Amino acid sequence: MIDRNAVKRALEDGHARRRPRPCGMTIHTSIGCKFGCIYCYVPDMGFPMKPRPYPLTGLELVYALLNNPYFLPGPYGTLLAFGSVTEPFMEEAVERTLDYLEKTRKFLGNPTQISTKASIGEELLDKLLRVMDPQISFLVTVITIKHAKKLEPNAPKPDDRFETIRRLSKASVHVTLFLRPIIPGLTDAEVPTLLSKAKESGAKGVVPGSLRVTPGILRRLKLAGLDVEEVKRRLPRQPRNPKDQVTIREHDLKRLVDIYAKKLGLRVYPSSCAANIEAHNLACYSCNWGPCGDPRKLPSVEENDVKDAVEVFGLRPTKLVVKGNKIVVHVKDGDQRTKDVVSVILSTVTKRDVVVR
């Protein structure tokens, strides 16, 4: 179905070797983003402001993922995360996004999430409903109304994004407000209003997220005439270089989100993957934020099964320790790369935090 050149492109691509992030395997539908949100870390990662479609076709993407040793296909496999470093519904990316959603659903069937700031109209929604994972977790980002023009100069208006939530909810899509990042001293005062509008629009819950700071982000916020003193006060340390992303302290602000959201009857998801897990009727306890989803649906874990799985990868287990949600497997010999791959694959299968040493 794909020729030799396509195979070469797929195998040389990052999707064929990249380690999953905590939210899952990030899927890039384009390179770059034109929305120009000044709090975004993507420009500091070297991505351009002028976007272009990602070079792989949908089939090539599937082939790349299937050759990634960290990736496990199927409905209980690796989570897929669209929209992590680009906007998937920009006009430059939307056709590629539709192709990727269709091919990953048809040939892989993995639990999928997609984050966006786009205004999704009825025509695009109809196309999405035909091709995407029917249990997909949609995350719609709205962090401010008051400061939107300064913080997100080229993104659709917040009201248009709340309308996107309304359309998705009406179509029975699992949709969540992505309240990330909360910018202290700037957007935190708007939290009650944003949550109320999300609830009115049909969102099932909210994912609050912290601001990651680079020198470039601080500079852009200052140039926009915004007060960054509270942001700087919450930094645990200064960024070490232009690409260093430092997450600011926001536990108190997340607690406020939790209080307001629960009053409105909104679920509070500790992470984007938690919303993905719930949308797909799964359970996961692979990090300290868990268990997410329905704990009764956590896979049972037998010691001998774990040891057998480790041996499939050519490693010899000598000891297995289970403590809470963590499983530590001690092995004899084996290179670090193989141990890392096995750790990720077994974490995916067991939905626990597995470490192979």
What DSSP line would sit under 48-117, residue for residue?
-SS-EE-SS-HHHHHHHHHT-TT---STTS--EEE-SSS-TTSTTTHHHHHHHHHHHHHHT---EEEEE-
User: What angle, rounded to 10 degrees, do the helices at 251-264 and 191-201 form?
Assistant: 40
Q: Which of 162, 132, 174 is nearest to 293 (CA)?
A: 174
User: What angle, rounded to 10 degrees, do the helices at 94-107 and 122-131 form?
Assistant: 20
pLDDT at 78: 99
Q: Are residues 42 and 189 in the same domain?
A: yes
pLDDT at 49: 78
pLDDT at position 231 over 80: yes
Q: Residues in the chain, how many?
A: 357
Q: Are residues 272 and 311 in the same domain?
A: no
Residue 196: give its domain's CATH number: 3.20.20.70
pLDDT at position 328 over 90: yes
pLDDT at position 1 over 80: no
Could you tell me the residue range of the domain that residue 307 belongs to? 303-356
pLDDT at position 186 over 90: yes
| Helix (H), strand (E), coil (C) string for 268-326 | ECCCHHHHHHHHCCCEEECCCCCCEECHHHCCCCCHHHHHHHHHHCCCEEEEEEEECCE
pLDDT at 48: 74
Please compute the mean of the pLDDT values over residues 150-176 and round it to a whole number.
98
44 vs 211, residue with greater confidence: 211
Please compute the mean of the pLDDT values over residues 336-349 and round it to a whole number.
98
Asked, for residue 291, whether it belongs to a domain, the answer is no
The pLDDT > 90 percentage for the chain reads 94
Please compute the mean of the pLDDT values over residues 267-296 and round it to a whole number.
96
Q: Please enumerate in sequence order all residues whose Cβ is within 8 A of that of 36, keeping only pairs 6 or more positions apart, or say none.
A: 49, 152, 153, 154, 155
Q: Are residues 222 and 337 in the same domain?
A: no
Q: Are residues 44 and 128 in the same domain?
A: yes
Q: Are residues 240 and 332 in the same domain?
A: no
The residue from 252, 284, 316 where one domain ends is 284
| Phi, psi values for residue 137, rounded to 5° | -100, 115
Q: Are residues 89 and 121 in the same domain?
A: yes
Q: Are residues 226 and 352 in the same domain?
A: no
- The pTM (predicted TM-score) of the whole model is 0.95
**Integer Cα distance of 44 and 8 in angstroms:** 29
pLDDT, tens digit (0-9, with 9 covering 90-100), for 99-142: 999 999 999 999 999 999 999 999 999 999 999 999 999 999 99
pLDDT at 241: 95
Please compute the mean of the pLDDT values over residues 33-61 and round it to a whole number.
91
pLDDT at 44: 86
Give me 3's structure tokens: 């020729």
Q: If pLDDT is split at 50, 70 and 90, which confidence band does 208 have?
A: very high
Please compute the mean of the pLDDT values over residues 237-257 and round it to a whole number.
96
Considering only CA atoms, give the Rg of the chain. Answer: 21
pLDDT at 157: 98
Please compute the mean of the pLDDT values over residues 59-78 and round it to a whole number.
99
pLDDT at position 85 over 80: yes
Please compute the mean of the pLDDT values over residues 201-221 and round it to a whole number.
97
Q: Are residues 206 and 72 in the same domain?
A: yes
Asked, for residue 296, whether it belongs to a domain, the answer is no
pLDDT at 352: 97
Q: Are residues 258 and 157 in the same domain?
A: yes
Q: Are residues 332 and 271 in the same domain?
A: no
**Integer Cα distance of 247 and 341 in angstroms:** 27
pLDDT at 217: 97
pLDDT at 200: 99
Asked, for residue 342, whether it belongs to a domain, the answer is yes
Say if strands 205-210 and 174-182 run parallel, antiparallel, or are unpaired.
Answer: parallel
Q: Which residue has the tokens 């076709």?
A: 57
Asked, for residue 333, whether it belongs to a domain, the answer is yes
Please compute the mean of the pLDDT values over residues 33-56 and round it to a whole number.
90
Say how many domains are in the chain. 2
Q: Are residues 278 and 333 in the same domain?
A: no
